[in-house]
Structure 1
C-alpha cells in the first residue's frame, strides 16, 4: 500500500479484524451479563459510531474549504521538510481517516455483537420459564438434540450419566398430559400463569440434559424427543436457560436428517473397524478423524492435555486442512487447474463435514477450512485474513454462544497464527538456509501453539514447555492417521474387511502420538505455573504481542532470546530440585478428586500404598502424577461404592501395582465386578483381607482393624463393612476409616478401647457426614483431621457439627473442597500440613 508522496506503509487494513474482535468481545460481555448490559452497549456503540462519522464528515468538509488566501490551499503548519505544507497535511488526514474508520468498525462491531447476544439472553432469561426453573418443577419437555450425547460418568456401582445439549421446543407441567392441565408455580408473574393455563410453553431455548437412561446413547443430533424430568438452574456463563435432570427414557419422534443418519453410519463403521485394535491407539483414531472420543482412554486424554495435543482430538480447521490438502495433492498430481482443484476440495470439505457430523463445532471447523479454499481459488493469501474476520463475525452473530466457547477461541487463534505468523517465520527460516519443507514443519505447529497459548494458560493455569516439541514430533503422524481414518470410515460402508485393514495401518501413527503424549506428560517440570482465568489469558496475550513487536528488530530479538534462555536455565533446576509438590517429608496425602477418597502413603522413591481410588479414573491418575508416584505396592479398596472404586483404572494406568486388597463385603456387586475386571486387565491379583491382616512395605505398616464382624441390616451395610485401617508411616499413626458409620465405629471402640485407636492423623469417615460416633472421634484424638469431600456436593457433607467437635478437641481440620490436595509432613518430630489448591475439583457424586 502506498501513501502517495509519503512513502509506503506496511500497516494492514484492520477494519474487518476490528469489527470481528469488537463483535466477539461485546457478545462475550452480554452473555456473561444481562439484557440491560446489552442495551447499554448497543446505545453506547451507536452513539460512538454516529459521533465518529459526523466528526470525520465535518473535518473532511472543512479540509476542502480554505480559510482564506488566493491559492485555495489549506495550511497545515510548517512541514518537517518543504515549504508548501501539502505532504504533512495529506498524510495527517489519511492517518486520521484510516484510524477513524477503524474506530467506527469497532463501534459497529460492538453494536452487532451486543444486539445478537442480547436477543439470545432475552430468550435465556424469559420469565415464562424462570418460574419453573426457580421451583425445580417437574415437567414434560419436547427437545431437539443439538450435539452427540456424552457419557460423563461410567456405570460403576450405579447408572451411567449422560450429558446432552438440546434445544427446548415445548415444556409442559409434568401432568399436562392429563385432561386438566397443571398449574405452573405461582411466582407472581403473568407470563408463567398464562402459559400454565394452556399447559404449554413454546420457547425454543437451550437446555442441558443430565440423564441416567441408556436410551440417550443412540440419539443423533437433530432428533426430536420427549422426556419427563425436573428443571434445575444452570451454572451460568453461557446461554443455557435450564438443566433437566431425568431418569426417564427419552421417547424419539420422527427421524434425523439424511446427513445426520449418514454421519452416524460412517462413524459407527469407523468404530467397528477400530474395535479389534489395541485400546489406546484404537480409541484415539476416531478422535483424530471425527472427534469421536467415546472410546478414548482417559490416560491418553490426560496426556494429550498435559502436552498441548488436545486439539488433535477435537474437530478443527486442522482436520479439514489435512483432508483438503490430501485431495489437493491428488488433484495436482493429475495436473488439474486451480478451478477444478478448488471444486474438488469443496466436495471433500462438504463430505468431511457430513462424516464428522454437521454439528455447530464441525460447521465452524468447515468454515475455517473454507478460508484456505478462498485463498486457493483467488490465488491471494491476503484474502484469507479478511475472510477469517468475516467468518468470525458472522458466526458470533448467528450463535453468540461461540463467544464463550474455548474451542472456538482456539480454532480462531490457531487459524490466525497460521495466516499471520507462519508465513513470516517460514520466510525468515528459508532466508537463513533452512529447506522449505523443514521450515513448514517447524513453523506451522509453532505458530498455532504460540497463538493458542494465552487461552490454554487461562484455562489450565500453566504454560507448557513441552507443547511445541510435542507438536513437532506429532506432525509426521497426524496426516497419515487422519487420512487412514477417513478412508476406513468410507470403506466401512461397502467393504468392512478393507476398512479394518486401513484402520490397522492408521493405528501405527496413532500409536506414535500416544507415545509422544505419554513421554511428554512424564517430562519433569514440563509446565510452568501461570495465573488462570481471564486475567492470566489477557496478561499472557499482552506479553506475547510485546514479544512479537520487539522481535521485529535484530538487537531486541537477540536480547529476548538471551532472556528466555536464561529464564529457562535458571528456572528448570529450581523446578527439578524443589518442585513444590509433594512437599519434603510427607507421610500421608489426601487428593482432591471430588466426592470420593484417594489416600496415598509414601512407601519409597516414587512408590506408594494407595487407599481407595475416588470417583473418576482421570482424577485418580492426576493425583498420583502430581505426587510423582510411578508404582503402587498395594491398592486397598475400603468398600465398593463408586466414589471409592470408579477410579481404579486410573491408579492402574501405566503403573506397576503389586496387589489389590479389598473388603470381604461383596456389595454393591457392580463396584466389586469393576474392580476385579480392571485388575484382571492389568494382571494384578485381587483378594479380600480380614480384620487383623497386616502389611509392611518400606516405611509403611498397615493393620486392618475392622470391620470386627459383618454388619447386616444397618442404614448402609457397604459403608459399615468398610475396611478400617491403622497405618504407621515413619512413626506417624494414621487412622483410615473408609465410610464407616455409627455401628462399625462403635464396635471398633469396644474391641480396642481408646488407647488402641489413638492416632496422629484421622481421615474422617464418609466425607465428614453426621454419621460419626462421638466417642470414637474422642478416642482417636487426632492432631490433624482431613475430610475428602466434593465441592457443592448434594449430600451436605461435611457436617458442621462434626467439624466443630474435631476442632474443639484440638485437631486442625482440612477439607479437600476448600484446600485442594492435602499432605501431612513430619519435620523435626513435629507435624505440619501443606496444601495445594486446585483450579477446579471434580464434582462427581459419591454415595
Structure 2
C-alpha cells in the first residue's frame, strides 16, 4: 500500500512539474504534496534564514485547511453533521499518507482524527488531551520519533499555542475591528517564543525579521497560494487549461513571495548566531515563559454592557477611574501589603529579568571565559583550524574543501545538493560554538582543499578581515572567493615575513612566511604550496606553529631567513621564544617532502597535529614523516583516526582532547 501511495505522489508531482516552471515546481510540490526532494537548496536556505521552513513542511495548518475546505464542500452538499465528521475522519489518514507522513503531519492528523471522533461522540475535551494521546500513539509506534527535530518542534509549538495563546490574547485589547489581526499577531509571537530555544539548539540562528515574515507569509501562503496550487493540480487532471490558468495566478504570487523572502534575508544586521544552549537552559526558558504568561494581566474590555447606564458607581467613590476608600491610606497599605514574590507586577518584572538574563547567557555563553581554544577541525583531506583567543577573538585558518573529480560529460552524476564541507561541516560547527563573527580569516594559500569551504563561511558568517599570501590563482573557487570578499568589502592584507599582530593581550601572531615583496602587483602563482602563510602563534605561554602546505625546501628557507634576519623579531624573542613550539601543525597533511629532520630539530615540538582524510589516495601521512616525528619524541594526533583535535590553553599550560 505504501508503495502505491509513493507511486501516486510521484505521479502527482509529475503533473505539478507540468503546471509550474522549473524554479517553482519543487517549491509547490513541497507545499502541496510534501515532496521536498526537488526543492531548490538555495530557496530552502533563504526560507531557513527567516525561520520559514515550517511553511515548506506539511503540518497542522495544512491539515486544518484541508479539513476546512473538505468540510465546506460537504456542507454545500447538504450532508449532516454526523456524516461530515465520519467522512473527515476517513479522509484525514489518506491526506496524511499522500502528503508524506512526516512526524509533524502525523501528529496533526492524529489530533484531528481524535478531535473528530470526540466531537462525534460529544466528548470533545481540551487540546492537551488530544496532543498527549497523539504523542503516546506515535511513540508507541516508533520511540525514535522522540529524537526527530520535526517531532519536537511540532509538539512543542502546538502545546505552547494551547497553553499560552489564551492568556496572551486576554492581555491584549479586544477591539472588534482588529480582532483578527490581534489573533494572528498573538499566534505568531507565541509560536516564535516557544520554538525559539529548539531553533537555536538545532539551527543556531535567529532572524529578528522572522516575526513580521511569518505574520505576512503564513496566512498568504497557507490560505491563498497552497489552496490555489491544490485546486490547480486537481483541475489540471480534469481540465488542463483551467489548471494552467490557476497555476499562473500562484506563479505570480510565488514570484512576489521569493522576492520578499530574498530582500528580508539580505538584512544581515538583524540576523543573529547563537551557540547551542545546554538542556537546562531550554527548561529554564519554558519555565520562565510559563510564569510570564500566567502573570499577564487581563486587558479591560473595550465594549460597555448594554445596560451600562444602570451599572454606575457614585462619583464620591471614584475619581478618574480610581477607587477612593474612606480608610486611611496607611491602613490600606498595611492590609494589602504582599511579599514581592506574590505581587503580580513584581512577578512580571522578575520574569522579564530572568528572560533577559537567559537571552544574555545564551548569546554570550563564554563572555567571562579566559581559556583559549585551538581546534584542528576534521574536514577530511584538507585544513581548517578554528582559534578562540582568551578574550573571545575568533580566528579561522583555512576552511577545507570538497574536491570533485568529475570528468567532462559526467555532470549528470552531480546531486542537486552535493556535499560540501564548508556548508555541511565548517559553518554549522562554527555556528554551534557561537561564532557571531570571524575577526581574522587566514587563507594559507589558494588550493581548493584549503579554501573551497570558505565560500560558505563568507556567505553565512560576517568576516572582519582577511590575511592571505598575496597571490592570485587561475582557479574558479579561488577567483570566486576573492571576488566575494571584495564584494562584501572585507579588508584584504598580504602576509609578509616578520609581521606581528597582537590579537589581544595574550594572543600574538607572527608571520614566518612568505617573504617580503616590494612590488605592488599581485602575482599569479599556479603551484601555491610553497607560498603558504606560516604562522607562529603565542597563547599565554604556549606556542603553536601553523605551517600550511610548505615543503622541506621552504622549511629550510624559513630557518635560514630567521637566522639571517633576527632583527625581524625582538631580540629576546629571536633568542628564546622562536626556538621551540608546543604544537606543530604538520605541513601538507604529512607529505613525504615536508617536515624535515632539520625542521623538527629546530622547533622540537612536544606534539604534532596532522589534518588528513581517512580515505585519501595520496598516502598521507607518509610513514617516513611519522618515523621522523617519533624519533624526535613528538606525540602525534591525526584527524583521520582521532577526529577533531582540540587544544585548551590557559595560564597554567596546554592540554588536548579529541572529539569524534
TM-score for the superposition, normalised by structure 2: 0.58
String of CA shifts for 1:658-679, please: whole Å, max 9, x gaps. Answer: 999899999xxxxx66666788
Distance 1:287 1:722 in 2: 49
Q: 1:392 and 2:139 equivalent?
A: no
Distance 2:486 2:115 in 1: 49
Alignment partner, residue 137 of structure 1 = none
Distance 1:511 1:780 in 2: 56
Alignment partner, residue 31 of structure 1 = none
String of CA shifts for 1:289-329, please: whole Å, max 9, x gaps. Answer: 52616545479649848x76554444332332355456668
Name which of 428, 437, 441 aligns with 1:629: 437
Q: 1:476 and 2:219 equivalent?
A: no
Alignment partner, residue 648 of structure 1 = 455
String of CA shifts for 1:8-34, please: whole Å, max 9, x gaps. Answer: xxxxxxxxxxxxxxxxxxxxxxxxxxx
Alignment partner, residue 256 of structure 2 = 508
Distance 1:276 1:362 in 2: 26
String of CA shifts for 1:142-193, please: whole Å, max 9, x gaps. Answer: xxxxxxxxxxxxxxxxxxxxxxxxxxxxxxxxxxxxxxxxxxxxxxxxxxxx
RMSD across aligned positions (CA): 6.5
Q: 1:746 and 2:567 equivalent?
A: no
Paired residues, what number? 541
Is this contact kept in 2: 1:617–1:650, CA < 8 A? yes
Distance 1:271 1:661 in 2: 48
Alignment partner, residue 261 of structure 1 = 7
Give unpaired runs (5+ residues) of structure 1. 1-220, 223-255, 667-671, 686-690, 707-717
The within-5 A match list for 1:227-266 is: 256-257=3-4, 259-266=5-12
Alignment partner, residue 585 of structure 2 = 764
Deviation for aligned residue 1:260:
1.5
Distance 2:287 2:622 in 1: 42
TM-score for the superposition, normalised by structure 1: 0.47
Name which of 361, 367, 371 aligns with 2:110: 367
Name which of 582, 591, 598 aligns with 2:384: 598
SS at match of 1:616: helix
The within-5 A match list for 1:296-335 is: 297=41, 301=45, 304=48, 311-324=54-67
The within-5 A match list for 1:122-133 is: none
Is this contact kept in 1: 2:609–2:645, CA < 8 A? no
Name which of 278, 290, 295 aligns with 1:531: 278
CA distance change for structure 1 residues 611 and 390 in 2, over 3 Å: closer, same or farther? closer
CA distance change for structure 1 residues 358 and 546 in 2, over 3 Å: closer, same or farther? closer
| More displaced stretch, 621-630 vs 502-511 | 621-630
Deviation for aligned residue 1:734:
7.5
Deviation for aligned residue 1:563:
1.2
Deviation for aligned residue 1:562:
0.6
Distance 1:695 1:325 in 2: 72
Distance 1:291 1:775 in 2: 60
SS at match of 2:125: helix
SS at match of 2:533: strand
Deviation for aligned residue 1:725:
1.9
Alignment partner, residue 183 of structure 1 = none
Alignment partner, residue 382 of structure 1 = 125
Name which of 150, 157, 175 aligns with 1:407: 150
Name which of 707, 721, 725 aligns with 2:533: 725
Is this contact kept in 1: 2:386–2:396, CA < 8 A? yes
Is this contact kept in 2: 1:449–1:467, CA < 8 A? no
Q: 1:499 and 2:252 equivalent?
A: no
SS at match of 2:58: coil
String of CA shifts for 1:790-817, please: whole Å, max 9, x gaps. Answer: 9999999999979986996799999995
CA distance change for structure 1 residues 271 and 722 in 2, over 3 Å: closer, same or farther? farther
CA distance change for structure 1 residues 386 and 594 in 2, over 3 Å: closer, same or farther? same
String of CA shifts for 1:628-672, please: whole Å, max 9, x gaps. Answer: 43798885654334x863553343457689999899999xxxxx6
Is this contact kept in 2: 1:607–1:631, CA < 8 A? yes
Alignment partner, residue 565 of structure 1 = 352
Alignment partner, residue 426 of structure 1 = 169
SS at match of 2:6: helix
Alignment partner, residue 669 of structure 1 = none
String of CA shifts for 1:482-541, please: whole Å, max 9, x gaps. Answer: 4525644664664568536523412433554566667589545x7586423xx6666666
Distance 2:483 2:184 in 1: 43
Is this contact kept in 2: 1:331–1:344, CA < 8 A? no
Q: 1:776 and 2:582 equivalent?
A: no
CA distance change for structure 1 residues 725 and 537 in 2, over 3 Å: closer, same or farther? same
Deviation for aligned residue 1:409:
3.3
Deviation for aligned residue 1:775:
3.8
Is this contact kept in 1: 2:393–2:439, CA < 8 A? yes
Deviation for aligned residue 1:354:
5.3
Deviation for aligned residue 1:764:
1.6
Distance 2:185 2:622 in 1: 52
Is this contact kept in 1: 2:584–2:609, CA < 8 A? yes
